[in-house]
Amino acid sequence: ITGNGTASPSGDYLASFPGTYTAEDPGLAMSQWWMGPNGSPFQPEWNTTDYPFPGPEVWSG
Report the candidate in 15, 50, 49, 45 with the shortest Cα–Cα distance to residue 30. Answer: 45
C-alpha 25/C-alpha 28 separation (Å) is 6
pLDDT digits (tens, 9 = 90+) for 35-56: 666 666 666 655 666 677 777 8
Separation in Å, CA 1 to CA 4, 8, 40, 52, 53:
10, 12, 27, 24, 20
Each residue's pLDDT tens digit, 27-37: 665 555 566 66
Which residue type sits at 26?
P
* Cα–Cα distance, 57 to 38 (Å, whole number): 29
